[in-house]
Amino acid sequence: MNIQSMLKKAQALQAKMSQVQEELKAKEMIGTAGGGKVKVTMNGAQEVTAISIDPDVVKPDEVDLLEDLVLAAFRDARTKVTKMAEEEMSRVTGGMTELTRLPGLGRKSAQRIAFHLLRTTDGDAKRLAQAILELKSKVTDCEICGNVTETQPCALCADTRRDPSLLCVVEQPMDVLALERTGEFRGRYHVLKGALSPVDGIGPDQLKLTELIRRVKEGDVREVIVATNPTAQGEATALYIARLLQPVERVTVTRIARGVPMGSDLEFSDQVTLARALTGRKEI
Ligand code: ZN
C-alpha cells in the first residue's frame, strides 16, 4: 500500500466531504405524519426549517394526538435526512478502497474508520501516517527465522534460553505471536511467509524453504514441528516439508494435532486450543 497516495486521497476526500456537508445543508427533507396532515421540513444539517399543520387536526380536545403527530413527523424527517446524508457520504467515500483492502475490514468498518480519520486533526493524521512509515522502515525480517523484527537477529533467535533442537515452522509472523501466547513452546521458529498454493502461483521457491533446509542441516535441530494452518495449502506444505526433510536422519518431523479447527487460521485460535494442538502433535 502506498501511504503517500493514500494520504493524498484522504485529503481530497476531506475536501469533497466538507463540500458535501455544505450541499446537504441546502437540501431539505419533509417528514410526514397523520397521512400528510402534519409536515416537518428538515435540512441536511438536521435543523427544522418549517412545520405545517392541517387545520383539520387542530382540535382543542385532541392536543395529545397533535403532539404525537408532530413528534412522528419530526422523526420521519430525521430518518429521511440521515439516510440522505449516508447516501451522499458513501457516494464520496466509495473511493476509499485502500482501507477496505486491509485484512478483516469490510466496507462498513472501512467507512467508519474513514469518518473517524476525517474528524481527526491534520496533526493527528500526520502522526499516524508517520508512525506507519516508521513501522515500515524499522521493521525487517529476521535473517535467521524470517519473523518480523526491529533488531537483527530477532529477540526470539537471540534468546539463548530457547531450545535450539526444537524448530517450529509457521506460515506467518502472526502465528509466532499466537504460539508464543500459549507459553507452551520454548524452541525456535521458522516463518515460511506463506503456504504452497499452485493456483495462486505460490510454489516452493516463493517460500522460505531453502532457508529452512539449511537451518535444519547446519544446526542441531532434532525435531521440526510443522505448525502451518490446517487448510488444504497448510497441509500440502506440511507434507512437502516432511518429504524434504526425510533424508536428514537425526530429524523427526511432527505436525501439530488437529485441535485447531479445519479451514481457519492459527492467529484466530484461542490459547487453550492452540496449546492442546501443540502438545498433541504427531509424527508425519
Ligand atoms: Zn529470528
269 Cα: distance to centroid of ligand 1 (angstroms): 23
Residue 126 vs residues 88, 112, 243: alpha-carbon distances, Å: 27, 19, 50
9 Cα: distance to centroid of ligand 1 (angstroms): 37
**H-helix or E-strand spanning residue 15:** helix 3-26
- C-alpha angle 261-263-264 in degrees, rounded to nearest 5: 65
Q: Which CATH architecture has domain 148-279?
A: 3-Layer(aba) Sandwich (3.40)
List the end-to-end C-alpha distance of the chain, in Å, as a whole number.
39
Cα–Cα distance measured from residue 31 to residue 33, given in angstroms and rounded to the nearest whole number? 7
CATH superfamily of 3-132: Nucleoid-associated protein YbaB-like domain (3.30.1310.10)
Could you give the residue range(s) of every CATH 3.30.1310.10 domain in the chain? 3-132
Grid cell of 241 as nine digits: 516439508
Could you give the residue range(s) of every CATH 3.40.1360.10 domain in the chain? 148-279
**pTM of the complete model:** 0.58
140 Cα: distance to centroid of ligand 1 (angstroms): 11
Q: Which residue has the cell 464520496?
A: 92
76 Cα: distance to centroid of ligand 1 (angstroms): 60
143 Cα: distance to centroid of ligand 1 (angstroms): 7
| CB-CB contact of 20 with 12 (8 Å) | no
**Residue-level pLDDT, tens digit, the chain, 284 residues:** 566 676 777 677 777 777 887 888 889 999 999 999 999 999 988 899 999 999 988 888 888 899 999 999 999 999 999 888 877 777 766 646 667 777 777 777 777 777 777 677 777 777 887 888 888 888 899 999 999 999 999 999 999 999 999 999 999 999 999 999 988 899 999 999 999 998 888 899 999 999 999 999 988 899 999 999 988 899 899 999 999 999 988 999 999 877 666 677 878 777 777 877 887 787 88
